[in-house]
Amino acid sequence: MMETQKQPTLIFMFGATGDLARRKLYPAFYQLYKKNQDFAVIGLARRPHTDESYRDLINQTLPKSSEDRSSFLDRFYYLPLDIERPENFSTLKELSDRLDGQYGLQGNRIFYLSLAPRFFGLAAKHLRNAGLTETSGWKHVIIEKPFGHDFASAKKLNNDLLQVFDEKEIYRIDHYLGKEMIQNIESLRFANPIFESVWNHRYISNVQITLSETLGVGERASYYDQTGALLDMVQNHIMQMIALTAMEPPSRFETEETRYEKVKVIQSIRHASAENIFNQVVRGQYTGGVLADGTKVPAYRDEEKIDKNSNTETFVAARFFIDNYRWSGVPFYIRTGKRMSAKSTEIVIQFKDNPKNPYFYHLNDAAPNLLVVHVQPDEGLSLKLNVKQFNETGNTMPITMKFCNNCANEGNTPDAYERLLADCLKGDSTNFTRWDEVAYSWSLMDSIVAAWSEKQLPLDHYEAGSMGPASADQLLARDGFHWWPLTTTV
């Protein structure tokens, strides 16, 4: 069926009382409602709630200034549901048929599975068996991460979902793909010939991607301790950022064509091997320290619900090579970690130095040109160039040209979840990950985990509030590079 924007939809919110729903999804639903999106929501979780107490819970998640709350909240219904009990799904079928009719939702359905991954397959099966996926409209299923914990488990999960949904109906969410500046990479590259013409190994010396956080593991300690930074952040967000930065222009700016180009990048990233793992990956874990705002924080191993002997990495840095013509020999350095000195996400493109010439001595010290995509907290771009100093020496000095999309650290750009939900409502899956992207990414992660297990790659410690272990600096120093200082403002 042809899908157009703003079709009425029934949303099944599994994990309705969870942290993600409260922090991100209800505020996003509210913004969509204000933009005239027509929907009703059934909240599903094990906890007992009535419609009223559920609406109270949602109300508390809305910004203080929200208007029209009651007409928004009236569209939320609650059903206590145990995924393991098929009879609960028959009750759900009755409720959904009633709401379909009451709101004229035309059988369009979104199943939002904000659940532990072990329940994805079971939820899909029970939805199908209860007749909930046989609908007169369209149906989409949104899957939260983690999509498995290695290639084999992801494949199994995918096969379970394919018993009930087609690939085109599966929306695997990676919320970084909903961020303004991540979506802007395409325009930056393909609308600016001055960049695209030099976007290759001839002119770019290296690329640096940082996703640093000041937060620790908080309420998600048990999940995190079994996952670690590599699988929590690199397998998904960082792989997507590399793919968008490195991909070829698609033949058309359409969903499958764009995803196809991203797949080719991820597929071309050289796998890790036991012989090169020491030069490719650094694992770190934070010790106690003081954050930039003066807060004293404990070591990872002293955090609540964390094993005292945990060897989980809270930081990872890596050097990747993309084995294709465009990127031959260009290192892509990445790093991400908890309890670092600042919350910042950015991509730095470092261009090659100008040729050195003894007669141009005053130009030989020029700093490299850098193009920086500032993803958060500020959203923008900056370009570092060199100009002549304002004196007689003729020497150069670096300057920065800036574009600032949102410089107040809290902008008007819609939250990533709001954008992605809106995309799913209108049937646009461009900013969701296709199975083959996920599959290639998992096999790359598997190669890293296998190599570091075989060689027992050490866990290097770093103080909370720092930028990671010294070994992450050595990773670049060996190639004659260094991490460019982080910018949190543009």
Considering only 100, 169, 180, 232, the residue that binds ligand BG6 (CB under 6 A) is: 232
* CA distance linking residue 244 with residue 232, whole number of Å: 19
* CA distance linking residue 127 with residue 92, whole number of Å: 9
- Is 275 within 8 Å of 193 (Cβ atoms)? no
Q: Which two structure tokens, joined as six digits, stand for 306? A: 């964390």
Instruction: Say whether residue 180 binds ligand BG6 (CB under 6 A).
Output: no
In the bound complex, what is the minimum distance in angstroms from residue 379's beta carbon to ligand BG6? 12
Closest C-alpha to 175, from 414, 356, 426: 414
Q: Which two structure tokens, joined as six digits, stand for 235? A: 């397998």
The smaller minimum CB distance to ligand BG6, of residues 240 and 345, is found at: 345
The smaller minimum CB distance to ligand BG6, of residues 130 and 375, is found at: 375
In the bound complex, what is the minimum distance in angstroms from residue 209's beta carbon to ligand BG6? 13
In the bound complex, what is the minimum distance in angstroms from residue 301's beta carbon to ligand BG6? 18
In the bound complex, what is the minimum distance in angstroms from residue 373's beta carbon to ligand BG6? 14
Per-residue contact flags (x/-) with ligand BG6 for residues 138 to 177, judged by CB under 6 A = -------------------------------------x--
Within 10 angstroms of residue 94's Cβ, the number of other Cβ atoms is 11
* CA distance linking residue 26 with residue 41, whole number of Å: 10
DSSP 109: E
Per-residue contact flags (x/-) with ligand BG6 for residues 299 to 338, judged by CB under 6 A = ----------------------------------------
Q: Which two structure tokens, joined as six digits, stand for 431? A: 């900013």
The smaller minimum CB distance to ligand BG6, of residues 7 and 240, is found at: 240
Give Cα separations from 34 to 69, 72, 183, 269 (angstroms): 10, 9, 23, 43
Residue 142 neighbours by CB under 8 Å, 6+ apart: 110, 111, 112, 113, 171, 173, 424
Residue nearest to ligand BG6 (CB): 232
Closest C-alpha to 464, from 224, 213, 238: 213
Ranges within 79-138 binding ligand BG6 (CB under 6 A):
none
Residue 103 neighbours by CB under 8 Å, 6+ apart: 8, 10, 38, 40, 75
In the bound complex, what is the minimum distance in angstroms from residue 415's beta carbon to ligand BG6? 9
Sheet with 170-172: strands ordered across: 76-80, 39-45, 9-14, 109-113, 139-143, 170-172
Q: At what angle do helices 435-455 and 255-268 cross, to 10 degrees?
A: 20
Catalytic-residue membership of 237: yes
In the bound complex, what is the minimum distance in angstroms from residue 213's beta carbon to ligand BG6? 5
In the bound complex, what is the minimum distance in angstroms from residue 214's beta carbon to ligand BG6? 10
**Cis peptide, bond prior to residue 86, ω within 30 of zero:** no
Which is catalytic among the residues 126, 140, 175, 237? 237
Type of residue at 360: F
Residue 361: phi and psi, rounded to 5, are: -50, -30
Per-residue contact flags (x/-) with ligand BG6 for residues 334 to 363, judged by CB under 6 A = -----------x------------------
In the bound complex, what is the minimum distance in angstroms from residue 328's beta carbon to ligand BG6? 31
Size of the site for ligand BG6 (CB under 6 A): 4
* CA distance linking residue 207 with residue 242, whole number of Å: 9
The smaller minimum CB distance to ligand BG6, of residues 214 and 466, is found at: 214
In the bound complex, what is the minimum distance in angstroms from residue 69's beta carbon to ligand BG6? 26
The smaller minimum CB distance to ligand BG6, of residues 125 and 175, is found at: 175
Q: Which two structure tokens, joined as six digits, stand for 375? A: 């993803």
The smaller minimum CB distance to ligand BG6, of residues 55 and 175, is found at: 175
In the bound complex, what is the minimum distance in angstroms from residue 114's beta carbon to ligand BG6? 12
The smaller minimum CB distance to ligand BG6, of residues 132 and 231, is found at: 231
Instruction: Say whether residue 378 binds ligand BG6 (CB under 6 A).
Output: no
Q: Which two structure tokens, joined as six digits, stand for 96? A: 């959904």
The smaller minimum CB distance to ligand BG6, of residues 73 and 231, is found at: 231
The smaller minimum CB distance to ligand BG6, of residues 175 and 339, is found at: 175
The smaller minimum CB distance to ligand BG6, of residues 232 and 379, is found at: 232
Give Cα separations from 484 to 322, 346, 369, 385, 417 (angstroms): 21, 11, 12, 15, 30
* CA distance linking residue 450 with residue 152, whole number of Å: 14
- Is 433 within 8 Å of 258 (Cβ atoms)? no
Instruction: Say whether residue 213 binds ligand BG6 (CB under 6 A).
Output: yes
Residues that bind ligand BG6 (CB under 6 A): 175, 213, 232, 345
Which residues carry out catalysis?
Answer: 237
